[in-house]
Amino acid sequence: MIGKKIRRICKKFNVKFLVNDDALIAKKLNADGCHLGQKDMHIIEARKLIGNKIIGVTCHNSIELAKVAVENKADYIAFGAFNDSKTKNIKYKASTNLIRKVKKITKIPIVAIGGINSSNYRKLLLNKANFLAISGYIWSNKKLKPIEAIKKLK
């Protein structure tokens, strides 16, 4: 199974392995945790299943969803999309102002997602996003190979 191979690679490089959208698979693979969308398993059920592992929750652009995730002991919360993206259809737009507001109500890490690239990532970090989820810029970049794209983010 590819998940087991990914887990081994992550362990080799001391990188956390989180399974997207599925706490059951995270448990089966002994992953470091999972990320849950709003339509996935509820965080309380996921916590019962995987215990004290990392659980992150998508909050789109909603402070209310963030408050619920914090109350339910999420380890991090994710917001987006911050920019136009070709990776997913964008239903929700988030702003750096949202990050600043959420920082006032919680200390748990915030992940920014959506259309992040070498020309806009600094703005998110300057506005106190703790982590950036970057996919298309690295894996679907027509001008740069993945390693070259990553180097432009340093």
**Do residues 92 and 111 make contact, with C-beta atoms less than 8 angstroms apart?**
no
Q: Report, as an integer, the average pLDDT of 122-145.
A: 95
Which tens digit of pLDDT belongs to each residue from 64-98? Answer: 999 999 999 999 999 999 988 877 778 899 999 99
The HSE-up count of residue 148 (CA atoms within 13 Å, CB side) is 6
How would CATH label the architecture of 2-151? Alpha-Beta Barrel (3.20)
Whether the per-residue pLDDT at 1 is higher than 80: the answer is: no
What pLDDT, on a 0 to 100 scale, did the predictor assign at position 146? 95
Helices 63-71 and 96-103 cross at an angle (nearest 10°) of 40
Q: Is the pTM of this model over 0.85?
A: yes
What pLDDT, on a 0 to 100 scale, did the predictor assign at position 65? 97
DSSP code per residue over 33-91: EEEE-TTSS-HHHHHHHH-SSEEEEE-TT-HHHHHHHHHTT-SEEEEE-SS--SSS---
Domain boundaries, given as residue ranges, for the chain: 2-151
Residues in the chain: 154
